[in-house]
Structure 1
């Protein structure tokens, strides 16, 4: 069998899960600063499959923010390219002024030698990651670096060949023996080189809607980080992102909602999760409401009943809270 290891955070105490996940990803790719709305009870599963010098790692995990700073790059750079085949969920990456959004079936390319920030969406993400030494990509380094920030489709062409190979490989590693690992790694390296070369030949045009989608994901992440702030308003959100309120409204209109509705719905969802958490049974309902931006109990009860069809007190007494 291939050399393979697995981490399931649910096998660990809740208090240790996020730290273990951070340490694991730091060893898989490179040291990073990680943050998550779900850090208190983090859910993630990762398999690491060694193919000689190449590593393939399928993973499913909760919302996450990855930050690799210039300081971390200076302190530790394994000099690898990273590719992520996004199978479920969405994300947005930025490298200084460069930004790009990713959705299911996109392949995202990155490098341990550059600083970056990546935000995933609020829903869990499933992906297949690949770590490959820069030296194994048979292209001049300055040309290969131009792929960073590209969005490569896995639905057609050479991107599809790479995606199909990775999906088949991780679905069942039992047929392969240890001696197959370097051969499989060489196939992955050849396919990645071909993907990079093809992408360099293609014209790189990022449509305006891609920039808008990336900005929307970043704004949503900002809102989720500041939900407990009673003063969080569309004006504050717009100012934090150096855009007008009218443009902010248009971004959320394209999502089929409004800024205020998104803020309210996220606050209610967090309050609902805490009301059904047995560990928080002793926390009064009004205290739960206040910590998620509802200082007035009556207002919280009305909004909660409208969203979920029952008042918060009834939900807390229900079977899911027992």
Structure 2
């Protein structure tokens, strides 16, 4: 069996979880600044599978913002390429002049030698991460760096080969011997090299819709962070992102949503979660409502009943009885 380590924040006291997760991520990839709106009770799990100089790590974790700054690069640079295959959820990256959004089964590629910001959506994400030393990617550095910011699919061509190999590898490591690890690492490095070379030779560019997907994820993250503000409006959101309201509406229409319904649904979803949480049983319903942008209790009750078919007090009673 291949050597692997497993880490779960749920094995730790609540107060230690996020700090421990941040430390774990820093050791897995490179030192980073991490932040999350789920800081108080962070949930994340990760397996780290060592394949010689290559590391593969499947993980599932709550909302997270990763920042790799010039100062951190000067302090420590392992000189690796990082690939994440997004299996569930949403994510996006920002390199300053470049932005990219990623869908499921897309590869997200970074370098530990570049500064960047990566952020996930409000819901938990599942990724399959890979760390490959730059020295093992047989593409000239200035050419390989051109891949950063490209949209690399794991559903076709060489990307599909790499995706399938990684999925099969992490699904069951029991059939491999420890001596197989360096050879498997070489296979991964060779597939990454082939994917980089193919992308550079084909001179692929991000499709126009990528910027819209990136902006949509930025907007959703902004909304999530400001759900407690009763004055959160489409006009304010558009202004904060320097776009027109009509453009903002089109972004959400592309996903079959409206801005107002997205805000309402997220508020009610998190209010419902709080009402069903035994740890918050003593928090008054009006306080739960205000916490998620409803300063008027009557308005909250009407909206909640419309969404869930019963008033907040009844849902709380049912949930706590079943707990």
- Which of the five TM-score ranges fits, normalised by the shorter chain? over 0.9
- Residue matched to 2:151: 151
Q: How does 1:92-111 map to 2 (within 5 A)?
A: 92-111=92-111
The Cα shift of 1:214 comes to: 1.1
Check the 8 A contact 2:151/2:206 in 1, yes or no: no
Report the Cα distance in structure 1 between the residues aligned to 2:55 and 2:276, rounded to whole angstroms.
40
1:123 alignment partner, SS class: coil
- Residue matched to 1:289: 289
- Residue matched to 1:233: 233
Report the Cα distance in structure 2 between the residues aligned to 1:21 and 1:194, rounded to whole angstroms.
32
The Cα shift of 1:64 comes to: 1.9
Report the Cα distance in structure 1 between the residues aligned to 2:88 and 2:60, rounded to whole angstroms.
9
Structure 1: gaps of 5 or more residues? none
The Cα shift of 1:121 comes to: 2.1
Report the Cα distance in structure 1 between the residues aligned to 2:229 and 2:179, rounded to whole angstroms.
56
The Cα shift of 1:144 comes to: 0.8
Q: How does 1:67-216 map to 2 (within 5 A)?
A: 67-216=67-216
Report the Cα distance in structure 2 between the residues aligned to 1:205 and 1:14, rounded to whole angstroms.
43
Structure 2: gaps of 5 or more residues? none
The Cα shift of 1:15 comes to: 2.0
Q: Deviations over 1:199-248 (max 9, x none)?
A: 10113232222211111011000110111122222122111111111111
TM-score, normalised via structure 1 length: 0.96
Deviates more, 1:192-201 or 1:62-71: 62-71
- Residue matched to 2:7: 7
Q: Deviations over 1:52-108 (max 9, x none)?
A: 111000111222222222222222211110011112222111110211111111111
Report the Cα distance in structure 2 between the residues aligned to 1:273 and 1:16, rounded to whole angstroms.
22
Within the alignment, does 1:267 sit opposite 2:258 as a pair?
no
Within the alignment, does 1:308 sit opposite 2:315 as a pair?
no
Check the 8 A contact 2:36/2:63 in 1, yes or no: yes
The Cα shift of 1:320 comes to: 4.6
Report the Cα distance in structure 2 between the residues aligned to 1:62 and 1:301, rounded to whole angstroms.
29
2:228 alignment partner, SS class: coil
Report the Cα distance in structure 2 between the residues aligned to 1:296 and 1:319, rounded to whole angstroms.
23
Report the Cα distance in structure 2 between the residues aligned to 1:319 and 1:300, rounded to whole angstroms.
18
